[in-house]
Amino acid sequence: MDVMPEPAAHPVTVAIERRIDPSRTAEATSWMQAGTDLATGFAGFLGSGWVRAGEGSDLWYMLYRFSDIPTLEAWEQSPQRSWWLDSGRAFAREVRVERRTGIEGWFDAPFATHIESRAGSDGEVVATGPIQQPIPAAPPRWKQAVAIWLGFFPTNLLASWLLGFAPGFAEWPLVLRILLTTVLLTPVMTYAVLPWVTRMLRPWLQR
């Protein structure tokens, strides 16, 4: 009996906006770095970084990335992170938190996960430090819908045309025809069409 392989894990990126008391910038800088150092010790950690919106701004952005949802939740629910958050409540306040994965991940800007790196104590390269730019918001839902439709319509049209040549396919029950079509098209859309469409439409999506 064949065993179905487990689905591949997808990295998850979390972007957090915080308001920081401008009079406590030095403390906040050390606090942000402490959070990065704590996360580095957790399984699945892929990188972290932070940046200030401007020299006189109280808006700071932080980004961290884990290999999948279980490793992310192990960090987010850990007593270490709880202690770290409590230690910064006097000068840091969360404004917005966003997770990027699945369909949302296709619409990330290329620099959204670009992290500076440094050598760790054991010589291994560790992704940490300020991110190059603040994480932009995902494109509006209607733009995402347009991008998905632009990929899905021609792909579905081509598949329907090709399947029309399959002997007896037109006589199959509707449910079975749709089942076969979606089984064939889902991986094509996920791994080929959507990444290509969003790459081509990147300037318009991020405008």
Which residues, 6+ apart, have CB-to-CB distance to 167 below 8 Å? Answer: none
Per-residue confidence (pLDDT) for residue 81, from 0 to 100? 92
Per-residue confidence (pLDDT) for residue 124, from 0 to 100? 39
- Tell me the pLDDT tens digit for each residue of 16-29: 889 999 888 888 88
Per-residue confidence (pLDDT) for residue 115, from 0 to 100? 38
Run of H or E residues at 73: helix 69-76
pTM for the whole structure:
0.50
Low-confidence ranges of the chain (pLDDT < 70): 1-9, 101-138
User: Rounded distance, CA 165 to CA 61, Å?
Assistant: 54
Per-residue confidence (pLDDT) for residue 168, from 0 to 100? 85
- Tell me the pLDDT tens digit for each residue of 69-97: 899 999 999 999 999 999 999 988 888 88
E-strand stretches of the chain: 12-20, 45-52, 59-66, 92-100, 115-119, 125-131
Amino acid symbol at 143: K
Per-residue confidence (pLDDT) for residue 151, from 0 to 100? 87
